[in-house]
Every structure is written in C-alpha cells, then in structure tokens.
Structure 1
Amino acid sequence: MTSERAGTRPVTDRIRRCGEVERGYDVAEVDELLAAVDAVLQDPPDGTGAGERAGAVVSAQVRAAVFSGARGGYRPEAVDEVLDAAEDALAAAERERFLRARGPEAWQEHLDGLGTLLRNRLDRPRTQRFRRPSRSRAPGYSAAHVDVLCERLGARLDGTGALAPAELRRAVFPPAQGERSYEEQQVDAFLDRAVELLLALR
C-alpha cells in the first residue's frame, strides 16, 4: 500500500488532498493505518511474518477505521477508495492464511456459520429484523430503508441479485424514531458481518 513496485508512487502520494482551509482526514492517521496494512500484505504467503503476528491489522479494523479531521488533510472520498482496496486485499490474505492453517473444510464451516447467522435475521418479517432503540425518542435507522437493503442482501446470497461489499460499507439510512426505526448499533454490527461474508465469497 505505502510502498509499491519500483517506478510507481506510494499510494499515499496519490491520495488527493483538501485545500488549505478545507477539512479532510488527518494525514498522519491515514498514513499510519496504510503502513500497517502494507506490513501485513508484504508478508510472504507461505511464511510467518507481519500477517501472523499478534496485533497485526485485520480487514475488520480497516472497515471500522475513523480518522480525526484536519485542515488540508486527505479528501475523505479518496481515502475511502483506498481503504476499500486495502480491506479487500487483507480479506484475501486472511482467507489464504486461514486455508493454510486449517484447511478448506474449516473454511467452509466458517462460511456456513456466518451465512446462517445472517440468514436467521434476514428471514425475519419486515420491520422486525432488528431491535428498536432503547428509548422511545432515541433516533435510529429507518426500518423500511434497512429492510430494503436486507432484501437485496438476501437476493445476493440466493444468487438472484447483485450487491457489492462497497454498497454495504457506504450504506446510509434516513433517521427515524419509535416503531419505524431500528437500533443503529445492531444494524451496523450486522452489516459488518455481511461485508465479511461477501468478501469471503469472492
């Protein structure tokens, strides 16, 4: 990520920056994360290096990354594109390490378990797939809009529809309250597992 083949510029050199008075993502924080990703991806596939060490960055951490705002920082949309590619690459490396360590049967069991976990919630009736916010006036995600995305995910898992991991990563739902809403944290956790499964199925 931060170091590439000879003759090419590092990824961080190619991320667009905001103007001096505009706020973007903190450059040092983004660079630190991408350097950690690079350390894992440079690990030889048949060896034990950065990717095998405790504390090595994993795809889920990239997906959940949050950066401070800074004037003149990286443009968020440009960073998001790079992080999507970083997450995809890490997920592929994690799959290879899993297969090498535990074999294809264990990998399939992992996929089946994750698929069952998601299916158990997708198969629930509309407006009943997730909890309501704990307080009646607390804002949540619009249940109707979340349900539409859930149904698209179900079609993707059935092989009857298309849905890319990036669409789940970038999902934004209108706010709602009461019976018309779902608890944000539970929906976010579900979508995180859904992205994990879609990446694993590639």
Structure 2
Amino acid sequence: MPPERPGAPPATSRIPRCAEAERGYDVAQVDDFLAAVHAALQDAPPGPGPEHGSGVVLSTQVRAAVFAGARGGYRPEAVDELLDAVEESLAAAERERCLRARGPEAWQEHLDALTRLLRNRLDRPRTQRFRRPSRPRAQGYSAAHVDVLCERLGARLEGAAPLEPAELRRAVFPPAQGERSYEEQQVDAFLDRAVQLLLASG
C-alpha cells in the first residue's frame, strides 16, 4: 500500500477487509484513529515535546496503537503497513512545524537529546545494555540477539551502515532466561526511541 501524503485524508476505503468468519482489527476503532491522525497532520502544534496539546496524535504514539478484534474487520497486516506510513508522515510534519516555529537549532537540540539517550545504552558492554527480567525464571529477549541489533544501530548512527526504521519495528528476538536475557519492556521502549530518531533524522 503506498504511503499517504502528509495531510491527506486517511484512505480507509483501500484497506482490505477479512472474510466475515475471520477476525481483524475493529473497523470503527481504526477509522477513528486515522481520523485523529488526519486532524493532527492538519492542526498539530509545532515541534516535539510538551508543547503538543494532550489531544494531538504524535508520531511516537502510532506504534502503541492497539485495536480490538472483530469479525470481518480490517486485515491487520494491511493496517500495520499503513500505520508505518502514517508514523513517517507525522514525524515529517512534526519536523517541518518545529523548523518553522522554533528554527533548526531547536530541532538539532531535539535530535542531540535523542542521540545521547540511545548512546547511553549502545556504549555499554555486550550483555549489559538492559536489565534482566525481574521475576525468577521469567522469559525475556535473547541478549545476544538484541546486542547484534544494537551494534547495527550504533553503526547506523555513525553513518557506517544502513538500517531502516522498518527493521527496528519488525525486530523479533528469540526468548531467553536469566543472564542470557533482557527485559522485554525496556528493549521495546529503546527501539521505539531508535525509530523516533531515525525518522526525525530524515
């Protein structure tokens, strides 16, 4: 599905539906979310951070969107693909509004703060970048596999290797326990920030 141009109405009529007997994403919930995104692309306040109004949909909120299941709903893979494009459109709009309203120095400060946040993790030794699961014998992500992706991200930030936001969004790690694992929630939050930085960097 082609990306939506910034400010374009959400093309929900092009999202394929599941068969009546299959469960997909609730149509009304997806339509409501995309309508809110369209409003944000039209009217969102400038720039990242606390200047945004509480009712505005931000690019960082797109990955957290959750929809109920419903028979005959939208096909999840099609909605997920559209949400990737929506996130990129919101990120681009936020960048342009910040540049117009606050100037390139403010935007660079935003990028620098994100980079420092990520570097704080990336510069740690392998197997020590994230905390372990707090509950005994709880499963987490394989530390070795997370570390490989972290090193690819570090190379991307240095300009030494390519890494697309989609690779971070779709990253899947084998389960592990104990000292061989990282807490899933902390890794997921880090990857969300990494996607945010890659999109903000253009």
Fold match, TM over 0.5? yes
| Cα displacement (A) at 1:53 | 4.5
CA distance in 2, matches of 1:139, 1:52: 37
| Cα displacement (A) at 1:97 | 1.7
Give the TM-score normalised by the residue count of structure 1: 0.89
Matches within 5 A, 1:1-202: 4=8, 11-43=11-43, 53-202=53-202
| Cα displacement (A) at 1:135 | 1.5
RMSD (Å), alpha carbons: 2.1
Say if 1:131 and 1:183, in contact at 8 Å, map to a contact too: yes
Higher relative contact order (CA 8 A, sep 6+): 2
Q: How much identity, in percent, do the aligned residues show? A: 78
CA distance in 1, matches of 2:147, 2:52: 38
Render the CA deviation track for 1:141-176: whole Å, top value 9, x for unaligned: 111111111111111111111111111111111111
Query: Per the alignment, in what secondary structure is the counterpart of residue 65 of structure 2?
Result: coil
Q: Which runs of 5+ in 2 are unaligned?
A: none
Taking a change above 3 Å as real, the CA distance of residues 127 and 38 of structure 1, as seen in their structure-2 partners, is: same
Letter in 2 for 1:164: E
| Cα displacement (A) at 1:52 | 6.1
Letter in 2 for 1:185: Q
Letter in 1 for 2:96: E
User: Which segments of structure 1 move beyond 4 Å, counting only runs of 4 or more?
Assistant: none
Give the TM-score normalised by the residue count of structure 2: 0.89
CA distance in 1, matches of 2:99, 2:146: 33
| Cα displacement (A) at 1:44 | 9.2
